[in-house]
């Protein structure tokens, strides 16, 4: 199997890929959009991208890709995240801290407490930050312990995220829909298309009336106008299960657009 993922080596995406298939070949890309493109073009068997973090919420780039492209979630992987501060220099030498925007946000309190005068700089991935940091002692990276080993950096502090229970949910992207396993999850995108009292209540009633458990619901701008929103919904069950199938048929009558973005084994 050839898996596309965010690089370079040492990212949390690599941890997710290893959980999916330790023997897979990995193809690294500079950004998430390139991972998505590789799946669409068929140059990889599947792609792995982050979709949400327990501290910082959803990854907008991934949600937008699922909205805009003919691509499916075919699996999910939960990765525990423990950030380290990595550098070739000492703590008192650090002037610039580099990392992915999500990692910087997850360690906001640590940075404010210990590096009030340091400048933060965003990078495309945590491992890219580690790679850049390996060249300058006045730089430090927020990245994984594996990145320290890979790029020859010292761990100045570990487990530095603001909240210790830190998890990132990754999704596997592909073009096929996995067969039901009896322990599945379905993800959809809904655009109501009109603003009326009780619109969301009616939508949720289609699931509640069929005893379907929703594991996530969130709104995001539709990009069609100010105040116009899409709803991203995760539910238990496969799209071929009768209760889920009936619920989807019900909300299609209420909404302007319903897009199924995946049915896959639940983790």
Write the DSSP symbol of residue 213.
P
Q: Is 206 helix (H, G, I), strand (E, B) or coil?
A: helix
Count other Cβ atoms within 10 Å, centred on residue 137: 14
Count other Cβ atoms within 10 Å, centred on residue 219: 11
Catalytic (active site) residue 168: yes
Q: Nearest to residue 137, comparing CAs of 98, 97, 94, 100?
A: 94
Q: Among 110, 123, 126, 170, which one carries the catalytic annotation?
A: 170
How far apart (Å, rounded) are the C-alpha atoms in residues 188 and 233? 5
- Total residue length of the chain: 267
Q: Nearest to residue 172, comparing CAs of 262, 236, 259?
A: 262
What residues have CB less than 8 Å from 204, skipping those under 6 apart? 214, 217
How far apart (Å, rounded) are the C-alpha atoms in residues 202 and 196? 10
Q: Token pair 């067969």 is at which residue?
A: 179
How far apart (Å, rounded) are the C-alpha atoms in residues 135 and 61? 30
Catalytic (active site) residue 136: no
Q: Nearest to residue 237, comparing CAs of 229, 247, 227, 228?
A: 247
Q: Among 11, 62, 123, 168, which one carries the catalytic annotation?
A: 168
Count other Cβ atoms within 10 Å, centred on residue 122: 13
Catalytic residues: 168, 170
């Amino acid at each position: 199997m050839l898996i596309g993922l965010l690089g370079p080596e040492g990212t949390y995406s690599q941890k997710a890929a290893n959980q999916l298939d330790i023997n897979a070949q990995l193809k690294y890309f500079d950004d998430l959009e390139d991972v998505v493109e590789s799946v669409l073009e068929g140059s990889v068997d599947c792609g792995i991208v982050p979709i949400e973090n327990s501290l910082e919420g959803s990854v907008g780039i991934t949600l937008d890709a699922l909205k805009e492209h003919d691509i499916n979630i075919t699996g999910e992987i939960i990765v525990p995240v423990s950030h380290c501060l990595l550098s070739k220099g000492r703590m008192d030498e650090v002037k610039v801290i580099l990392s992915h925007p999500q990692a910087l946000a997850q360690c906001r309190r640590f940075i404010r407490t210990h590096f009030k005068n340091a400048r933060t700089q965003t990078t495309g991935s945590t491992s890219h930050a580690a790679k850049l940091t390996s060249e300058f002692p006045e730089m430090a990276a927020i990245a994984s312990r594996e990145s320290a080993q890979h790029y020859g950096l010292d761990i100045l502090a570990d487990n530095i995220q603001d909240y210790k229970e830190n998890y990132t949910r990754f999704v596997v992207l592909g073009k096929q829909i996995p067969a039901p396993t009896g322990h599945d999850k379905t993800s959809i995108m809904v655009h109501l298309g009109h603003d009326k009292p009780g619109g969301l209540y009616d939508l949720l009633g289609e699931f509640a009336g069929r005893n379907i458990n929703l594991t996530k619901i969130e709104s995001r701008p539709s990009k069609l106008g100010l105040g116009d929103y899409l709803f991203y919904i995760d539910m238990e069950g496969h799209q071929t299960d009768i209760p889920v199938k009936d619920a989807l048929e019900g909300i299609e009558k209420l909404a302007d657009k319903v897009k199924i973005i995946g049915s896959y084994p639940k983790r």
